[in-house]
Amino acid sequence: MNVFPFLVAVWLLAVGLYGVVTSRHFVHLVISLSVMQASTYVLLLAVGYRTGAKAPVFADIPARSRIVDPVVQALTLTDVVVEATVSALLLALAVQAHKRFGTVDPDELGALRG
């Protein structure tokens, strides 16, 4: 039971990877990529968790109470916003690819033409 969150993270990574590899639509690929990103968030937060500890905000709890690790939360929260914009970049790529080559199937977008 005490490795269950990590196993869920590995499952999300595997499922997302399967979705990326077997995708037939570029947008489906980008969304499966976001599932893979979610697996890293779950892993990071699970590593930093302490049983019985509170959230790392001292606004309303006494200054000496136990808190969960704030460093992994700092990493994850910037990551969430930034990966959304990177997904937007990939979607822009998909739109332009469709305009140029008329298809959104990743398997057919093989050769780069000038």
Partner 1 sequence: MTALQAVALVLVAIGGGAVVFTREPPRQAVVASLFGVLLAVLFFLFQAPDVALSQITVGTVALPLMILLALAKIRQEEDS
Partner 2 sequence: MVFLPAAVALVAGLVWAVTELPAFGHYTGAYGLTLQHVALGQRRATDIVSAVTFDYRGVDTLGEEFILFAAAVGCAILLRFQRDEEMAEAASDRAVARVERVRRPVRALSAALVAPAVVLGAYIVVHGHLTPGGGFQGGVILASATVLVYAGGQAVAFRRVSPEPVLELADGAGAAGFALVAIGGLIFGLAALQNFLPLGTQSQLLSAGMLPLLNLSVGIEVAGAVTLIVSEFVDQTLLRSRRR
Residues that bind partner 1 (CB under 8 A): 1-2, 4-5, 8, 11-12, 15-16, 18-19, 24-25, 27-28, 30-32, 34-35, 38-39, 41-42, 45-46, 49, 51, 53-57, 67-68, 73, 76-77, 80-81, 84, 87-88, 91-92, 94-95, 98-99, 104
Query: Which DSSP symbol is given to 113?
Result: -
**Closest distance to partner 1 from the beta carbon of 63 (Å):** 17
DSSP string, 16-44: HHHHHHT-SSHHHHHHHHHHHHHHHHHHH
Query: What 3-state class would DSSP assign to 49?
Result: coil
* 47 contacts partner 2 (rule: CB under 8 A): yes
Query: Which DSSP symbol is given to 67?
Result: B
